[in-house]
Structure 1
């Protein structure tokens, strides 16, 4: 039976600045889940890209002395380059300045207008250019005579003609869908639970204050104060609010408005990965617009936390922005990929430290996994003429392999809940058990006393390493490809289904080579 297609997205990244560790982190999580699902037999569509319209981009281009299109072409390329540097396996890279995307935005707007979900009025309220967002009076704080949004962005009072989306009318339906049981096709799942509670409370407060379907809860969805955006069909004095434009990218890439397109089978998205600062847009504005247009909503929105740097908040003014390209150059790609998802529970804030990265690299990758592989494969080279032993007496390998055979399913369960750090801990716990097994069985000593048992022990260790390398491929694709090469696993036998077929006895194994380079703390 064919497994269902999977659609995974990153947010599209705003091009007013260069990529940093936060961008890499969101895309890395998406990439790992996409790679895992492909190995698990699913057809996967993984989307990322750049958000290129809006007042903030227009201003950044002006400050750089560039035309907005030239500016976005240049900065967008930096994000595209990051996908290569970080080894991401995205199937598409969308830009909101592309013709296909503008066409999708216009099509969605027309559907909403035809359904009576958009109307013309005047907007008056507090607006933060930095956030491209409006805020209620109760959210504004004043310091030294300057008013700020909850995010710390300065706000200004704006009054201008605007089209409005009837957001208020859909809020009760959103609350209903948030509370549906797991497995219900209409459920909108927000993770982690703290974010779900935050969004529910925000909606409930608005409904309590203004009542169901109040125009005061409606969303201003156009601007006349700047020009860099998608023109409103039939009224080109207005450009679409950047979030209406940006959020539409997820259906643009799936083929919208052509719902007969090949890619439309992927919609609705299985997981939108986002930072916690944009969770409201993805869990309130976006599903409400989809419902109003008669389209299915995404199944899950997962909002991860923020990184600090050595205990300090990351900011350009402090000069402590973490460049992922520099990290990869210093520590290697796969150790960086591993560390970012190993160190912190996905969904919580975390602190980046070079010492922690070095400790993970040296202790877990080099000492635990790398050393286990090198010891096992070196013993097979020396004691078995470089050929894979037969499986021998199953009872010999059972203490190690019985738990190992459950590992793929355990990792699958963890990743289906986006528990990346727990998936890695599950694998590492098994690697530690394997190190205990090789020490206890001492195959180097068995060579003198029991060649049959020695061969069975080495085969069990090899079989365990094959599972580890296979399930770790999504996290460390290049290094695990090298390990699978050393294990003699053919390129067409590296998915999860292939683990059911043992490698034949006598398979020639190449001489092992170190998988990880240890780093001295003093040098780091």
Structure 2
């Protein structure tokens, strides 16, 4: 095992409003990936947080009659931090771009680049999207239609743009066009999936222009230290939070221990910032570039991307309040292909909850525990002779562990869950075929009955470990029901590479029937 830290980040979410399930989606996927790596026994660091500067936040605060700091403080404490508890995220750090540590680190970074000659002063005249907090080139601006008629909009994301003219400082981004293209060629996994990689390469190949790194027409941001009349352009300092949060600027030893990031998880609409501007900044500073930027797709509700204007922005707590956090985490990891757009609906969540969680997994755990209670007084029996049926279960578990681990490595949580669910299906089929309730009718079949139920219990042990990164509450309840805490130690200490080893639960372990892991839900609000 490497001594390096497996460092994962979500975007530093823009905090102009309350979070929706898109934010919850990214955070849960990062949480599942980092929990899995923890289950491997690796050193892990998982950072999420909020991006709190910029013109959009300023305007939102003004519209609500409060200062920008008051606005972001309220949202962070009342909406963004509670989201993490709602979805059961186990992040190691929550970083805010209004933290003094970030301010000092961002100023130190750009001071160093300024001293290296990577920054110069100039005039900017062109289009700016307040909605995306993005400078937009003339070639990417078109006339709006429909609700946007009479406005100019960005081809990049459909947001409205405004024509601005102001004195700014610029980063020599154009110097890094060929360096970036060479880097992409030498590191084909840097930007994923392939669709995002192709888009980024096409964008850079069209030519890069120097980037404005400051604004001088408003003051909600981090001051440029050598010219306090300017503040840093929000993206230019927000990207640095990935580095300042782990020590850049104030703890070089810690920074060197954690950096570079193993994976930046981002929405596909902000892939260019992370795969173009961010690595160019790091190259200019002489710092290592992150290993991977993974751009996931949009969540579609009713076939449309979520947005407040379409009134289809579902809040995570609406789903969790109905189905629970485990089901929320399971659904978004299982039903959607990470990296592609995906449609969600209440009906699909409800259907999968009952078919896969309540009837598939939950009922399996309940049946096995109940039969051990009924036929062996709640004590796990020793297995007798095994047949091809048991060998198939054991082989299924081993293959599922290998495939799931490889899928997590490929940032494909949906494939990992598909592999793990082969164990659920195999065990359900095994119990149906072996019919222990029939075997129990003949005393001469007691050894066979013991083998069947011990095999099923071992399969559940494997599932508890493998599903712990995805459904920690249900996995903990199952681990307790299996008596595994006393027999094998804490669930968090079980290792992925040891899961497939058989006969780990010792005979004589007390098995109890767990409360329903996924109780039926009769009605679902839409």
Structure-2-length-normalised TM-score: 0.94
How far apart, in 2, do the equivalents of 1:169 and 1:181 lie? 19
1:359 corresponds, among 320, 339, 351, to 351
SS in 1 for 2:426: helix
Range with bigger deviation, 172-181 or 44-53? 172-181
1:516 corresponds, among 502, 508, 518, to 518
Gaps of at least 5 residues in structure 2 are none
In structure 2, the residue matched to 1:206 is: 207
The 1:12/1:41 distance shift into structure 2, 3 A limit, reads: same
1:373 aligns with 2:365: yes
Contact kept, 8 Å, 1:378 with 1:512, in 2: the verdict is no
> What pairs up with 1:132-211 in 2 under 5 angstroms?
132-143=133-144, 144-150=149-155, 151-180=157-186, 189-206=190-207
In structure 1, the residue matched to 2:91 is: 90
Deviation at 1:2, TM superposition (A): 5.0
What is the aligned residue count? Answer: 510
> What pairs up with 1:28-43 in 2 under 5 angstroms?
28-43=28-43
Per-residue CA deviation, residues 61-106 of structure 1 (Å, 9 max, x unaligned), is 1011001111110112211110111110011100101100000001
How far apart, in 2, do the equivalents of 1:443 and 1:224 lie? 76
Deviation at 1:513, TM superposition (A): 2.6
Deviation at 1:512, TM superposition (A): 3.3
How far apart, in 2, do the equivalents of 1:246 and 1:168 lie? 21
How far apart, in 1, do the equivalents of 2:166 and 2:81 lie? 36
How far apart, in 2, do the equivalents of 1:181 and 1:52 lie? 32
In structure 1, the residue matched to 2:252 is: 260
Deviation at 1:373, TM superposition (A): 1.1
In structure 1, the residue matched to 2:490 is: 492
Per-residue CA deviation, residues 282-337 of structure 1 (Å, 9 max, x unaligned), is 00000000000000011101111111223344222332210111111111111111
1:426 corresponds, among 387, 402, 419, to 419
Contact kept, 8 Å, 1:370 with 1:516, in 2: the verdict is yes
In structure 1, the residue matched to 2:16 is: 16
How far apart, in 2, do the equivalents of 1:40 and 1:516 lie? 27
SS in 2 for 1:141: strand
How far apart, in 2, do the equivalents of 1:258 and 1:102 lie? 11
How far apart, in 2, do the equivalents of 1:220 and 1:253 lie? 24
In structure 2, the residue matched to 1:479 is: 474
In structure 2, the residue matched to 1:214 is: none
In structure 2, the residue matched to 1:213 is: none
How far apart, in 2, do the equivalents of 1:307 and 1:521 lie? 24
In structure 1, the residue matched to 2:125 is: 124
SS in 2 for 1:10: strand
Deviation at 1:398, TM superposition (A): 1.1
SS in 2 for 1:280: helix
SS in 2 for 1:272: strand
In structure 1, the residue matched to 2:329 is: 337
SS in 2 for 1:406: helix
How far apart, in 2, do the equivalents of 1:381 and 1:220 lie? 69
Range with bigger deviation, 164-173 or 404-413? 404-413
In structure 1, the residue matched to 2:399 is: 406
In structure 2, the residue matched to 1:447 is: 440
Per-residue CA deviation, residues 200-226 of structure 1 (Å, 9 max, x unaligned), is 00111126xxxxxxxxx1101001011
How far apart, in 2, do the equivalents of 1:264 and 1:393 lie? 54
How far apart, in 1, do the equivalents of 2:29 and 2:524 lie? 30
Deviation at 1:429, TM superposition (A): 2.1
Gaps of at least 5 residues in structure 1 are 183-187, 208-216
Contact kept, 8 Å, 2:248 with 2:255, in 1: the verdict is no
Contact kept, 8 Å, 1:3 with 1:41, in 2: the verdict is no
The 1:138/1:37 distance shift into structure 2, 3 A limit, reads: same
Range with bigger deviation, 390-399 or 35-44? 390-399
1:469 corresponds, among 464, 469, 474, to 464
> What pairs up with 1:244-259 in 2 under 5 angstroms?
244-258=236-250
RMSD: 1.6
How far apart, in 2, do the equivalents of 1:170 and 1:307 lie? 33
Contact kept, 8 Å, 2:51 with 2:97, in 1: the verdict is yes
In structure 2, the residue matched to 1:459 is: 454
Contact kept, 8 Å, 2:261 with 2:290, in 1: the verdict is yes
